[in-house]
Amino acid sequence: MLAVVFEAADTASEPQVTRYLVALFNMMQGKELAGQERATGVAGFIHGWFSQALLERLRFLGESQQRCFETFIEFAPAEALLAWKAIAAEPWQAEIERLRQIAIRSSERQPIPTSLHQPWFDLTTTRIDAFKSIEDELTAELRAQCQRSIAEASAELDNHKALLKRLVNLDSNAANPGTRLYNVQATELEAVPGDAMGHQVNRSVLDVVHDQNQRLLALHDELAVARTSLDERKWVERAKGLLMQRHGVNEPEAYRLLQQAAMTQGIRLMDVARTLVNKDKNRKRV
């Protein structure tokens, strides 16, 4: 399901739809990571203490969720953001954080009650259910936005058809058919004397072309912003996979290596990931 939503977001050409899909994908990804955090926490609490490996896993899952939800906040519509703020204010959030701190302080020498696994499971399940409600709301809003976009496109197409029909009708009555239809930059000297309606329609064509050009430029900018988030995720995931395969490290360790390289070089995480992937491609070609 995540792959389907990601692919849809990566190929959508309508900026608003793309923004909804990016928000939806990151909410779904964050919810999936929250499920993994729930399972990891249960394992540690049942054991009575958290090993370094479990703590590292919890830390990685927490940071990964944070990145997902930051992107969600950037692209989510107002209604979904209101729901998100309501969830952030829930008292069970503080209880989950308290249990996280108990897990961090635990050790083999300082075990914790194994019974804590139940409240941890119940609270994190409540959290996941809350994320699911936002996911459902986003899905409904996405469907409505798609319907609005289709209606707008249909109306625009109808307008263009009506304009072309008027042009054809004027051309069929003109002394030199074809002049108005193909000359959308007609000047006063090129207009047929006394043909005020023809000149008006020519100006209508110019207005349509100008509006379309401005709209396409705006769409390009909006899409570029939304797809930057998707591009970063793709490069980072590929780079993590390479590091895991090449050095035999797990996912958290691979991400730490990328972070360290980015901080050392003073560049963005995506740039580090892209450089690593491209170097691997060049090495394979050689």
Domain CATH for 213: 1.10.10.10
Task: State whether 7 and 144 are in the same domain.
Answer: yes
Q: Is residue 165 part of a domain?
A: no
Task: State whether 138 and 17 are in the same domain.
Answer: yes
CB 127 within 8 A of CB 36: no
Task: State whether 281 and 222 are in the same domain.
Answer: yes
CB 180 within 8 A of CB 202: yes
Q: Is residue 167 part of a domain?
A: no
Which one of 116, 135, 150 terminates a domain? 150
Task: State whether 89 and 39 are in the same domain.
Answer: yes
Q: Is residue 156 part of a domain?
A: no
- Cβ neighbours around 24 below 10 Å, total: 26
Q: At residue 34, does pLDDT exceed 50?
A: yes
Please spell the DSSP secondary structure of 249-279, one letter per residue.
--HHHHHHHHHHHHHHHTS-HHHHHHHHHHH
Task: State whether 198 and 77 are in the same domain.
Answer: no
Mean of the pLDDT values across residues 146-164?
Answer: 75
Q: Is residue 65 part of a domain?
A: yes
Q: Is residue 249 part of a domain?
A: yes
Q: Is residue 74 part of a domain?
A: yes
Query: What are 235-252's pLDDT values in tens digits?
Result: 888 888 888 888 888 888
Structural domain range at position 193: 174-285
Residues 6+ apart with CB under 8 A from 2: 25, 28, 29, 32
Q: Distance (Å, rounded) from C-alpha 266 to C-alpha 129?
A: 39
Predicted confidence band at 114 (pLDDT cuts at 50, 70, 90)?
Answer: very high
Which range, 74-83, 166-175, 206-215, 221-230, is most confident?
74-83
pLDDT of residue 2: 58
Task: State whether 106 and 182 are in the same domain.
Answer: no
Q: At residue 178, does pLDDT exceed 60?
A: no
Q: Is residue 164 part of a domain?
A: no
Q: At residue 174, does pLDDT exceed 60?
A: no
- Collapse the DSSP code of 81 into the 3-class scheme (helix H, G, I; strand E, B; otherwise coil) and give the result: helix
Which one of 150, 183, 207 terminates a domain? 150
Q: Is residue 161 part of a domain?
A: no
CB 20 within 8 A of CB 77: yes
Task: State whether 188 and 260 are in the same domain.
Answer: yes
Predicted confidence band at 12 (pLDDT cuts at 50, 70, 90)?
Answer: low
The larger pLDDT score, comparing residue 166 to residue 191, is at: 166
Which one of 102, 134, 150 terminates a domain? 150
Query: What are 36-87's pLDDT values in tens digits?
Result: 999 999 999 999 999 999 999 999 999 999 999 999 999 999 999 999 999 9
- Of 65-69, 116-120, 155-159, which gets the smallest average pLDDT? 155-159
Task: State whether 122 and 212 are in the same domain.
Answer: no
pLDDT of residue 185: 44
Task: State whether 201 and 258 are in the same domain.
Answer: yes
Task: State whether 141 and 253 are in the same domain.
Answer: no
Q: At residue 204, does pLDDT exceed 60?
A: no
Task: State whether 95 and 193 are in the same domain.
Answer: no
Task: State whether 7 and 138 are in the same domain.
Answer: yes
Domain count, the chain: 2
- Cβ neighbours around 184 below 10 Å, total: 15
